[in-house]
Amino acid sequence: MVDKGKGPATKVSAGLLDLLNQAIARELQVAIQYMWQHVQWSGVKGFAVHDELKSIGIVEMKHAEAIAERLFYLGGTPTTKPTPIFVGKTLKEMIEQDIKDEANAVELYKQIVEVARKEGDETTNRLFREILQQEEDHHDTFTTLSEDL
Ligand SMILES: [Fe+2]
Ligand SMILES: [Fe+2]
């Protein structure tokens, strides 16, 4: 019997909680990564990239917070540790890494959408469908910007 009086109304597997923490670690990584790339960027080229790095970095921080809120509700403890941050020396180096990180996010979030759906966690499913769409936009933005570098 499920005890409906205790804990969150929606219960999920430890595997899904772990995936949410992997997502948080990645969001923390890219939030810091884009912020430092924005700070360290210099040169006459890439003013558009500069602005995008700043605004996308802020979006990633909001993703980290939204996912952490969901994880905490579900009974997990959000990690404070980002996955390894890569800043890069040149704008080209920076954006090439960022394209890879966004592609990895898209892959991981598709997986989370699917697992959440299977476990009947509609809220996590919806949250990650929304975030997934934004990561696809970021990937598209960085890919487009990289063509001019
Ligand atoms: Fe994100
Ligand atoms: Fe992103």
Task: Tell me the CA–centroid distance for residue 42 and ligand 2, in Å.
Answer: 22
**Distance between CA atoms of residues 77 and 56, nearest Å:** 25
Domain assignment present for 103: yes
* Averaged confidence pLDDT in the chain: 93
Q: How many domains does the chain have?
A: 1
CATH assignment of the domain containing 22: 1.20.1260.10
Domain assignment present for 6: no
Task: Tell me the CA–centroid distance for residue 62 and ligand 1, in Å.
Answer: 8
The answer to whether 80 and 26 have CB atoms below 8 angstroms apart is no
pTM: predicted TM-score of the whole model, two decimal places:
0.93
The answer to whether 51 and 101 have CB atoms below 8 angstroms apart is no
Q: Is residue 3 pLDDT above 60, yes or no?
A: no
**Distance between CA atoms of residues 117 and 61, nearest Å:** 25
**Distance between CA atoms of residues 22 and 127, nearest Å:** 15
Domain, as residue range, for 45: 14-146
Domain assignment present for 4: no
Domain assignment present for 82: yes
Domain assignment present for 107: yes
Averaged pLDDT for residues 119-124: 97
Domain assignment present for 9: no
Please, which residues have CB less than 5 A from ligand 2, an ion? 135, 138
Q: What is the pLDDT of residues 10-28, one digit of tens each?
A: 899 999 999 999 999 999 9
Burial (CB count within 10 angstroms: exposed 0-12, middle 13-18, buried 19+), residue 84: exposed
